Every structure is written in C-alpha cells, then in structure tokens.
Amino acid sequence: MGREFGVERTSENGLAVVRVRGEIDLLTADALRDELCNALRTAPTVMVDLAEVGFLDSTGVRSLFDAYRCAADLGHRLYVRDAQQWVAKVLAVTGVGKLLTPPDL
C-alpha cells in the first residue's frame, strides 16, 4: 500500500463509492471529510472503500464521524467497507466501524 493520499469518486451498483488510498491523518483528514460531504450532497448513499488505506489516526476517525453526521443531517447514509488490519482495528476499537457498517454485512 502506498502512503500517498488520494480519493476517487465512482459509481457502483447505484451507490456513490469513494475510494481512499494512503494515510488518513492530520494532513489529510479534512480533505477526506470534505470529499465525503460533497459526495453525500449528490448521492443518498455513499460507500467509502478503505482497502488501500494503510493508516488511520484519531483525526481520520473524526473525519469519518463528521461525514456520518453530514449524512444524517441530509437524511442520507454513509458506510465503510474493506478496512484492512490496523485501520479495521482502529475502527472497531473506537466504535465507528460498527456505526458505519452496511446493513447487509
């Protein structure tokens, strides 16, 4: 997994999918939050693909939670998928993973 941060928005099975790569930390968390909130303004359901994210710190967790609140304010839904190793553990320990788990998983 590369460390360079990037975000790509696509569509998949009627969902907006935001694929994130690199590290989500103090330097990138605000950009992620903004991208997710922008995606939520245009789509009722946004899936965040974290398969290529190798690091997530507390500011990254906060950006995901802030995007979750943005979704709730709009009456939309935000989910995450494919969190790996350390990222999955951080999401589980903080409870944010459970909050953002799609209902069919």
Look up residue 91 and give its DSSP letter: H
| 3-state class (DSSP) for residue 37 | helix
Q: What percent of the chain has pLDDT over 70?
A: 96
Report how far residue 13's alpha carbon sits from residue 2's, in angstroms, rounded to the nearest whole number.
Answer: 27
Report how far residue 41's alpha carbon sits from residue 86's, in angstroms, rounded to the nearest whole number.
Answer: 30
Sequence ranges of the domains in the chain = 6-99
CATH node for 6-99: 3.30.750.24
3-state secondary structure 27-45: CCHHHHHHHHHHHHHHCCE
In tens, the pLDDT along 53-75 reads 999 999 999 999 999 999 999 99
Beta-carbon contacts of 62 under 8 Å, excluding residues fewer than 6 positions away, are 29
Residue 104's pLDDT is 76
In tens, the pLDDT along 25-51 reads 999 999 999 999 999 999 999 999 999
| Residue 79 zone, left/alpha/beta (φ > 0; ψ -120 to 50; rest) | beta
For the chain, the C-alpha Rg in angstroms (whole number) is: 12
Residue 38's pLDDT is 97
